[in-house]
Structure 1
C-alpha cells in the first residue's frame, strides 16, 4: 500500500496546474509543475502539501483577491481531488488572512473538492467573530461538505490541525452543532459526534448536558450521534454517560469462568479471551475489555477495547469470546512483562486475569 504522502506527486500537481491554467491562461503551468515537484521525495505528507502551496503562492497572480478569484473559477470549471486541492486550501490558509472576505468564500469553493478543515483554523484564530458567523451560515448550506466544514473545522481537538485556544470554550461551537446533530448525512453527523466527543475530554458536564438536550428532540440520526459522541466517557465507565445510553452502571451482572489463553506469549502473539455473563434481571450490558500494558518505566494508562453490547435475560447465560493480538502499532510500542486484562460491564470491572509477554526473538 502506498504511503499517503505519495499521493502528493507530479500527477496531483499537474491536475492543479491544469485546473488553474484552464481559467487563467497566463498561469505558467509547466514552470509551476516543475518547481512544485522538485525536492518532494524526502518530505512527509503535510510538508509536501506546504511545499506545493508555497510554489502556488509564487506563481499565482497577485494580489491575493485576484488569486482567490482564480482558484474559485478553477474548481468551478475543473473538479479537483483531495491531493490536488489540499495545497490550494493550504495556500489560502497561509496567504489570505488579511483578506477574509475573499478567503472564506474561496475555502467554501474548495472544500467540496479538498476539505478546508485545516485551512479554516487560522481564520478562527485571527478573525473569530467573522469566521464563527460564517460557520453558522455554512451549517445550514445545502452542500453537505460545507455543513461538515462548520463542525469539523471548529473541533477543539481536530487531529493534525493547529490548536485554536478560543475553541477550548465549548459554548462557542455548540450553537453550530445544534444546527447539525440531526443532519440527513452521516458524513456530517459523524463530524458532529467527533466534535462532541472532543468536548467530553475537557468539559464532560457540558457535553452531557448537550447530549441530554438533543436526545429530547432529536431523531434516529441524533441517537447515533449521541452514542458515538459519548464513546470516550463510556469507556471510562462514566455513570451518567452510560445511563443516557440506557446502561445501568449499578446493574447486577456477573462475569464467571474468565480465561485468557495462553497466559504466556511472545510480542506479536494472540490470546483468546472467554467468559460468561449472567444476570438475575433483564439488563442491557455494555461490555468492554481493558488492557493494562507494561511500559518501559512501569504500567501505562489502560487501553479500553469495545467488545459487545448484550441484552441479558435472567437465567440465560451469554458466552463471550474475543481474540486479541499483542502487536506493535505506530502509537503504542509493547514491552515484555506482566499485562492485565479486565472485563468491564456498564463501566464496572467485574473480573480480570494476568498474562506475560516476552520478546518475540
Structure 2
C-alpha cells in the first residue's frame, strides 16, 4: 500500500487556519474586519511558501485591525492562546516585527509574551538590526527569566546563523556580544533551552572554532547540563576531526584501531529503500581509548558530483585489544531539505575524525 505524503509545511497556514484566526479575532474585537482579513490573507495563497504565508497573515491582521498599534497588541494578546498551533502563532511576533519598531518598549513586552505561544526568534532579529545594543540588552535580561520560552528566545533569537532567517553578520564577525547570554544559560535545566544554546555555539564554531573551544574549556563539565550542551555544541567540529574539540569531550586523539569487515548492504536500492552499515573495530593500542565513530554519505547531486554529509554513529570506549561490533540502518528518502538522485553513493567510516574504511551503494532511478 502506498504511503500518503505528509502535507506541505505551508499548509500550516491553510484556509481553515486563516478562518479560525478570523473567527477568534472577531470574537475578541468587534472592530476587527473578518471579511477583509480573509480577502487579504487567502489571496494568491496557493502560490506562496510557508514564510510568505506567515508574512501575508501578519499583514492581513494589520489591515483588518485598528491602526493604533497599542490597541492592536491588546487584541493580539487575547488571540495568542486561541490560535492553538505553535508555528501558526509566530504570526503574532511577525506582526510586532512589521509594525512595532516605533514602539520599542511595548514591542519587547509583546515579544516576551508571544514567544510562550509561538517563538519570537525571527521577529526579535529585526529589532537587533534596528537597534542592536538596546535590543541585546533586553535579551540579556531575558536569559535570567523564570520562563523557559523567554530564556530560549534570548539564545535562539541572537544566533548568528539562525535557520529560516537572515544571518546576523555583526555576530558572525564578532560573537562576543552574546557571551553573557550563553554564560547565563550554560547549565540551564530546560532541554528546550539547552538545545538552543548548543545550536548557538555550533553556529559560532563554524567561524570561530577556537573561541568556542576556549570558552567551553573553562566550564564545569562535571555538571550534566553543561556537559550535554558542550557535546552537542561541538558536533560540527567533532565531525571535522578537530583535535581540540575531540579532546574537550575526552577522546584519546589519533585512533589506534583497525576496521574489520566493513560492509554496506544491499549493493543497490531504489528511493525509499534501506541501507545497513556494519563494521568491527578492533583496538591496537596498549591503553583504553574513547572513540567517536561517525559515517559520511556522499550524496549524488543533480548536476553531477557529490555532496558529503556526516552522521553520528556511536561513541565507544575500547580496552587494549578490545573489539566492538557496530551497525546502523538508514532509509534513503527525499526530504524538503534534501532530494536524492541516482548514482553511486560513497560511504566513509570515520573514527575520531579520520576516515578508516569505505564502501557504498547504488541508488537506482
TM-score of the aligned structures, taking structure 1 as reference length: 0.90
Aligned match for 2:42, one of 29, 34, 37: 37
Contact 1:294 1:337 in 2 (8 A): yes
**TM-align CA RMSD:** 2.4
CA contact (8 A) 1:15 1:84 kept: no
**Residues 102-148 of structure 1, C-alpha deviation per residue, up to 9 Å, x if partnerless?**
21111111111111110111100001111001101111111111101
SS in 1 for 2:122: coil
Q: 1:82–1:358: structure 2 CA closer, same or farther, 3 Å change rule?
A: closer
CA distance in 1, matches of 2:49, 2:337: 17
User: Which residue is 1:257 aligned to?
Assistant: 261
Q: 1:98 aligns with which of 92, 99, 102?
A: 102
Q: Does 1:198 align with 2:206?
A: no
**Which 5+ residue runs of structure 2 have no aligned equivalent?**
1-5
Q: Are residues 1:176 and 2:176 paired?
A: no
Q: Secondary structure at 2:294's aligned position in 1? A: strand
How far apart are residue 47 of structure 1 and its match?
1.3
Corresponding position of 1:244? 248
Equivalenced residue count is 357
Cα distance, 1:159 vs structure 2: 0.6
Tell me: CA distance 1:328–1:109, structure 2 relative to 1, closer, same or farther (3 Å): closer
Residue range with higher mean Cα deviation, 264-273 or 135-144: 264-273
| Mapped partners of 2:151, 2:269: distance in 1 | 48
Give 2:315's match in structure 1, choosing from 309, 326, 342.
309
Instruction: Give CA deviations for 1:215-245 in whole Å, capped at 9, x if unaligned.
Output: 35x6211110111111111111111111111
Partner of residue 55 from structure 2, selected from 29, 50, 57: 50
Most deviating of 329-338 and 102-111: 329-338
Structure 1 segment 1-361 matched on structure 2, within 5 A: 1-75=6-80, 78=82, 80-168=84-172, 169-215=174-220, 219-265=223-269, 269-279=273-283, 280=285, 281-295=287-301, 299-353=305-359, 355=360, 357=362, 359-360=364-365
Flag the 1:299–1:110 CA change in 2: closer, same or farther, 3 A.
same
What's the secondary structure of 1:340's corresponding residue?
strand
Are the aligned partners of 1:292 and 1:299 in contact in 2 as well (CA < 8 Å)? no
- The Cα of 1:150 is off from its aligned counterpart by 0.5
Pick which of 276-285 and 60-69 moved more.
60-69
Judge which range, 61-70 or 107-116, deviates more.
Answer: 61-70
Q: Within 2, Cα distance between the matches of 1:91 and 1:120?
A: 11
Contact 1:19 1:74 in 2 (8 A): yes
* Alpha-carbon offset, residue 184 of structure 1: 1.3
* Cα drift, residue 295 of structure 1: 4.0
